[in-house]
Amino acid sequence: MDEHRAEPTPSREGARNPPGLWVVFPVAVFLLVGLCVAAAIFRAREVGTRSEAVGPARAHEDDPLDVAWKRRIGQFQEMPEFREALARSSSPEEPVPLVRALSAKGAARLPDDALLQRVSLLSAVVERADVTTCAAIFRNTPTAEQLHAAFLKLDPEALDAWIDLTARGAVAELKQAEGPSVSETDVTDALAALVKGLPPDEGERLSSALDDVVHASDEDACWAAKTLYGKVTRMGDPYDRILARALARD
């Protein structure tokens, strides 16, 4: 993969001193990557319920995403708070968009252990996706079909765990659960520590991809996504919690 990557633009000295000005923009990109995948399961589910086939034909097989969501939606419809919110929505006959909106707002209300599990699952998604899809996720430009295929590569337990976390985020929003907050300074320091913990050449490569997401090669963009998610849960307290929470922001 390395032989195809573009030359990094930041200097090697800059990579050794990550708290510099260049870190501010990567924080925004880091959050963008998280928000993109946070909504992915819903778009993938929409593809899975279309009448036309997506990917290999499954004429005699229910879509795993659709099956998992049907089970969760049934549980939501037993909640008075959800039924009331659904009745007030613009499309009361379509509960999934409401869950999507609630979960996007409520993910940051989840406890730290849930958010760390969420990052591990996001890491599994990009690790198993093909390079083009992985890069598109990093750039926040994946198609619904790409997302559907990426999530279907998760094993059943991981897929169920992801949907469970998504549902928990929606419930947390319905119940207005209190979640810790992190400051931009905390996020910047944590991301700087992540980059500083990489070998110098990898620090350069990551900062280069973050500084120019649009023009990064697919190989570099995918590598950056895998590096970000894969590194977070191995950083230790408090940086792992800070970055996991930052990635869950609406």
Q: Is residue 2 part of a domain?
A: no
Mean pLDDT of the chain: 80
pLDDT tens for 64-85 read 877 777 788 888 989 999 999 9
pTM metric for this prediction: 0.75
* Alpha-carbon span 76 to 78, nearest angstrom: 5
Q: Is residue 6 part of a domain?
A: no
pLDDT tens for 25-39 read 455 555 555 545 555
Q: Is residue 8 part of a domain?
A: no
Q: Is residue 4 part of a domain?
A: no
* Alpha-carbon span 199 to 136, nearest angstrom: 25
Task: Kindly report the number of other CB atoms within 10 A of residue 3's CB atom.
Answer: 5
Domain range for 223: 20-49+62-247
Q: Is residue 5 part of a domain?
A: no
Between 183 and 40, the higher pLDDT residue: 183
Q: How many domains does one find in the chain? A: 1
Is the separation of the CB atoms in 189 and 20 below 8 Å?
A: no
The average pLDDT across 140-163 equals: 89
Determine the pLDDT at residue 197: 94
pLDDT band at 128 (very low <50, low <70, confident <90, very high): very high
Determine the pLDDT at residue 31: 59
Q: Is residue 7 part of a domain?
A: no
Determine the pLDDT at residue 167: 92
* Alpha-carbon span 29 to 216, nearest angstrom: 13
pLDDT band at 49 (very low <50, low <70, confident <90, very high): very low
